[in-house]
Structures are given as C-alpha cells and as structure tokens.
Amino acid sequence: MSRSNTVRELIKRAPITTNPADPLSEAYRLMREHDVSQLPVLDGDHIAGIVDESDILLHVYGDPKRFADPVSIAMVTRLELTPADASLETLLPIFERGHVAMIAEGGKLTGLITRVDLLDWLGEKR
C-alpha cells in the first residue's frame, strides 16, 4: 500500500444525512432504509453533528414517544473532521476510539468512512 493513498479514495457515495429538526423516527427510518448505523446531521451546509443507533436507543428507551423528538436532542456535536487528502493511517486512531471518520473538503461534508469501508478497500488491493 502506497503512502500516497488518501481517505478520498475510500469515499464511494455521498453520505445519507438528516437535519437537526427531523424527528428521531425519520433518522432511524433513513438508517434502516440505507443500511447505515449513523447519519451526519447537516443544518444547511453546516455540519451540526452526527447521530447513531446508540444515540437514538439511549434517548427513546423507556419512552417510545421520544421518537418524535428532534435529532438535535440526541446527536453528538463534538466532531472531529478529517480532510479528504489525509493519509489512510489517519483513520486508524479514529477507529480505535470507536468513531466513524467524517470527511470534509472546503468545510463541506463529502463522506463518512467506517472500518468496513477501509477493510473493503484493503481487500480489493490484495
């Protein structure tokens, strides 16, 4: 594997997103429909946060009516963005912390990269 490989090479599609005002039920529906476990939260073009299955579960457990609450109440706002031209090695500490890599170019979200994405890419290089 060349050191010149960048995270941009792993981005296969635009990320499925939600917005802060969407109900949690809609975010969960999108996750199921697109077979993803997390969604970036965009407020216009601004990256406002990320919400995953655990965030939703912890919020609605014990009161399913909370599925009507907005995504903003359950999303994580402390974000670490990775530039698209970063080396693949940059992903390892992110994954070690149990996070997904949020890739941005010019301040705009361009993709998400998971452990599976990196494994798939490495498998294709065999």
Going residue by residue through the chain, which has 126 residues, state the pLDDT in tens, using 9 for 90 and above. Answer: 555 789 999 998 889 999 999 999 999 999 999 999 999 999 998 999 999 999 999 999 999 999 999 999 999 998 889 999 999 999 999 999 989 999 998 878 999 999 999 999 998 876
Q: How much is the pTM? A: 0.88
Q: How far is CA 56 from CA 49, 61, 96, 118, in A?
A: 13, 8, 22, 26
DSSP track, 50-101: EEEHHHHHHHHTT-GGGGGSBGGGT-B----EEETTSBGGGHHHHHHTTPPE
